[in-house]
Structure 1
Amino acid sequence: MTRFAAVDLGASSGRVMVGDVSASGVSLTEAHRFANEPVRVRDTLHWDVLSLYRGVLDGLAAAGPVDAIGIDSWAIDYGLIDAGGRLLGNPVHYRDARTDGVVTGIPDEKLYALTGLQKLSFNTIYQLLAEPLLPLADRMLLIPDLLAYWLTGKIGAEFTNASTTQLLDVGTGEWAGSLIGDLGLPARLFPPLRAPGTVIGPSSLGPEVIAVGSHDTASAVVGVPAGSPDFAYISCGTWSLVGVELDAPVLTEESRLANFTNEGGVDGTVRYLRNVMGLWLLQECQRAWRTDDLPGLLAAAASARPFAAVIDVDLPRFLAPDDMPARIAAEVGRELSRAETVRCVLDSLALAHRRTVRQACELSGSTAEVVHIVGGGARNELLCQLTADACERPVLAGPVEATALGNVLVQARAAGVLSGDLPALRGVLRETQQIRRYEPSGDPARWQELEDRLWG
């Protein structure tokens, strides 16, 4: 077995990548890419999951013969199926407003000690409490598990993605039964857990489906080509997932107040990180301006005056789809040109990266001699350089396709093509993937002044 299909679903597009693997390396080819366009029906924002499934099937057909299939996607969102295995409506998008004002009734301190999860208003726990279809549902399947079920007929929940729901016990690695009972959620909803590397079963198309790190960030962290354990990572796309890799969770009160999360990683690791709003702001600006000319926008931003305007990118007002340039202008208190708006987004995002890397190191005891940027943001040269300047550490950018590579590596190891632990898998990447290094420059005192101004 040497040829593996990685189904990678992001918040704005999906694709099927084919990884050809040998003991000396891995190469990727894109077989098919398709849009992931949410649909608003009356007052609710949905994922068009049947369109996504069609894109997956078309992609697997375009991929040609493969030995196995692995699926990853964004976290948190789910489909409900009834006792007959039928989907109960299109999954609701995490950016929908239905969780506004939803509370668990459980003290935040207790919830964090049990689940280790960052408090986000759209976590699965809040979505289920706002879910009107629960009485009809037999199982809750997160998006990769739902697609795997349609391909194989097998029901289960992959561990790394389950760990993002805020319904998993971070100590035991099992569903938090007492919490689920206290919330009044039906225990039947929560399927058996699967570890990454588990063979789920043969698909209707022939090849086996293998559980990978099905939260795309879990696969992306596998795809970080780190040469030592002393690193921070930024999986940079629509979101920036900023953190460090640990052997055990950090459950201190300081960690909770800093809103850091302890998510499950491949091989029993902990992804200690915080969600930062990411390139969503720039994507929404492009949508408002109706332009695909990202290189032109970035060139103009590189010539714009630095630090003319900075914002806290994680303010709730920036979460929902809307006129992002107008919201940014309102936040800074004046009109901005397109170049100024893009520079504001990138300066502010680099500043958020700085703050989050610093806090992750302080709270976990890590030092992070380098910062790895993987994902689409690794192509953004200005953001990579600004992040190196802000973090006062070298930035190693790439691979862009870290998520698909991590997906393929876990499949290949499960199939016996590769062996070894995470450092061994990452060594394969260092031999075969292009990585660009950015050295820090500029004035660290200026970055500290800006951080103090925004967050005190």
Structure 2
Amino acid sequence: MIKSRLAVDIGASSGRVMAGWTTGHNLELKEVHRFKNGATLKEGHFCWDIDYLYEQIKRGIKASVEQGLNPTSIGINTWAVDFVLLDEHDHRLTEAVSYRDARTDGIMEDVIDVYGKEVLYERTGIAFQPFNTLYQLLAIKRRQPDILENAQTFLMVPDYLHFLLTGKKTNEYTNATTTQLMNAFTKKWDEDLLTEMGLPTHIFQDTHLPGTKLSPLKADLQRELGVSLDVILPATHDTASAIAAVPEWQTSLYISSGTWSLIGIENPFPICITKAMNDNFTNEGGVNYRFRFLKNIMGLWMIQEVQRLLPDEWSFADLAKESQTSTYSGKVDVDQRRFLKPDNMIDEIQSACREAEQEIPTSPGDLAKCIYESLAVSYEKAIKQIEETVERTYEQIHIIGGGSQNAQLNQMLADRTGKTVLAGPSEATAVGNLLMQWIAAGEIVSLEEGRSMIKQSFQVEEYQPQRSEQRYADKV
């Protein structure tokens, strides 16, 4: 009889409840429930519907029971930086406002002017992104100070969902590191920094590592859902879960490819030097206190938005196919803030090309070609920066996540860099989530054993450079 564990993997556009179990030295996965996600405008801000997400998690649990998968534990991972604040009665004082909301406009620049980049980076190791939790909290302090005065609890989105399941409050370590409020070296909340920023220290919880057994489901939920589950913390930041599932971490750079592209290496310590700061690399916490030294690149968000604006008959596969025959050669800088949440992505890409005095992409194939080539340029530039910083060369790039299935982009990257590109598993985030549950339960002994099992359980596609060309990072 199958006894499974449930990984709840929620991204910016969709969420899944995945069941996983071990059979000998193999890992098995089954999707039991899928649902849409997205930020919508509410009282002037783009917010996640966290109550809807909670209901979908419960539906996934019920579905796993109905399908005879006998779930025994569950863990939730989502994106980073976003949060809710609770009052003394554990009622929400805030919505779960999206990182793409404009409320932080200008806040980061003000902090840099007063505090300075170097000091902040040396302490936190976190790259300067306008949506970081630090700037979101300062936006509340500036515009709604009464909310901060009444706040008693800070919970990031997966922390809050775990709280709804268990009644237990905690801040999981990997996601907490993304806030720009933790000290990279002590691996704790930087209370001096919080005080200097005028933020309350008492609202933050003790951090717990991936693999921590948090609590069983609340009794009323057990009755409602007809099952008793242990809640086990995965790496609640989706990228941290995904990187835990990279089979060849010592020999490869990685790209966690989805709405965002996270490109980097796994390292035993943070790299908080000036070059890394200037190149806008971040040091986020990983499993077993390893660090994800990586760079955020806009990722497939751009093609997702283009596809959303096209007639319904255009699929992502159609766009990739059309891009193969497109002769368009223009590129844009995908890391410009203008692409974070434009009113119309097609118009924004065309405007960027017009300003750069390039041909304007008009057909769907030309737009896709522009995005893919621009992403490959940005990837190549980041790879060169990593290799310069750590003073070593990598021969392989391991792409994981949903974007690993984009054969066109994978081949472009192999051709541009002259490196072997390995693609898969596409479900790396859910696998990494489950891996920490299996380790916590003693079904798998270590991360290394789990990675070995991942390597033999999931197919990995290999892309070799197909043409010789001068390799360089374009200036766009």
Q: What is the TM-score normalised by the length of structure 1?
A: 0.96
Does 1:160 pair with 2:182? no
Provide the rounded CA distance (Å) in 1 between the counterparts of 2:171 and 2:390. 28
Which has the larger displacement, 426-435 or 286-295? 286-295
Does 1:113 pair with 2:122? yes
Does 1:182 pair with 2:203? no
SS of aligned partner of 2:202: helix
Aligned residues: 448
SS of aligned partner of 2:193: helix
Provide the rounded CA distance (Å) in 1 between the counterparts of 2:268 and 2:311. 45
What is the Cα deviation at residue 23 of structure 1? 4.1
SS of aligned partner of 1:140: strand
Does 1:246 pair with 2:255? no
Question: Equivalent of 1:71, from 68, 76, 80?
Answer: 76
Partner of 2:136: 127
Provide the rounded CA distance (Å) in 2 between the counterparts of 1:207 and 1:321. 42
Does 1:362 pair with 2:388? yes
Which has the larger displacement, 18-27 or 374-383? 18-27
Question: Equivalent of 1:433, from 458, 465, 471?
Answer: 458
Q: 1:139 to 1:300 in 2, by over 3 A?
A: same
Partner of 1:442: 467
Partner of 2:185: 171
Q: Deviations over 1:316-373 (max 9, x none)?
A: 1100142111111111114322111100000111111111122112212342221110
Partner of 1:38: 39
Partner of 2:98: 93
Does 1:217 pair with 2:234? no
Q: Deviations over 1:390-416 (max 9, x none)?
A: 222101100000000000011001000
Q: Is the 8 A contact 2:377 2:474 kept in 1?
A: no
Provide the rounded CA distance (Å) in 2 between the counterparts of 1:290 and 1:135. 48
Partner of 1:271: 292
Partner of 1:82: 87
Q: Deviations over 1:249-285 (max 9, x none)?
A: 1111111100100000001111000000000000010
Does 1:416 pair with 2:454? no
Question: Equivalent of 1:309, from 310, 327, 330?
Answer: 330
Q: Is the 8 A contact 1:117 1:164 kept in 2?
A: yes
Q: Is the 8 A contact 2:342 2:348 kept in 1?
A: no
SS of aligned partner of 1:233: strand
Partner of 1:371: 397
What is the Cα deviation at residue 290 of structure 1? 3.7
Where does the alignment leave 5 or more consecutive residues of structure 1 unmatched? none
Provide the rounded CA distance (Å) in 2 between the counterparts of 1:392 and 1:142. 40
Q: What is the TM-score normalised by the length of structure 2?
A: 0.92
Q: Deviations over 1:375-431 (max 9, x none)?
A: 1111111011111112221011000000000000110010000102x3321100111
Q: Deviations over 1:210-257 (max 9, x none)?
A: 11111000000011121x612100000000000011111111111110
Which has the larger displacement, 387-396 or 160-169? 387-396
Please show how residues 136-155 of structure 1 align to structure 2 within 5 Å: 136-155=150-169
Provide the rounded CA distance (Å) in 2 between the counterparts of 1:359 and 1:267. 26
Q: Give me the CA root mean square deviation.
A: 1.3
Q: Is the 8 A contact 2:252 2:265 kept in 1?
A: yes
Please show how residues 327-406 of structure 1 align to structure 2 within 5 Å: 327-333=348-354, 334-336=359-361, 337-406=363-432
SS of aligned partner of 2:454: helix
What is the Cα deviation at residue 37 of structure 1? 2.2
State the percentage of identical aligned residues. 39
Which has the larger displacement, 396-405 or 202-211? 202-211
Question: Equivalent of 2:345, from 324, 336, 350?
Answer: 324
Q: Is the 8 A contact 1:2 1:67 kept in 2?
A: yes
Partner of 2:15: 14
Provide the rounded CA distance (Å) in 2 between the counterparts of 1:419 and 1:441. 40
| Letter paired with 1:136 | N
Q: Is the 8 A contact 1:261 1:273 kept in 2?
A: yes
Partner of 1:286: 307
Provide the rounded CA distance (Å) in 1 between the counterparts of 2:24 and 2:333. 45
Where does the alignment leave 5 or more consecutive residues of structure 2 unmatched? 223-227
SS of aligned partner of 1:21: strand
SS of aligned partner of 1:28: strand
SS of aligned partner of 1:27: strand
What is the Cα deviation at residue 2 of structure 1? 4.6
SS of aligned partner of 2:154: strand
| Letter paired with 1:222 | A
Provide the rounded CA distance (Å) in 2 between the counterparts of 1:95 and 1:290. 25
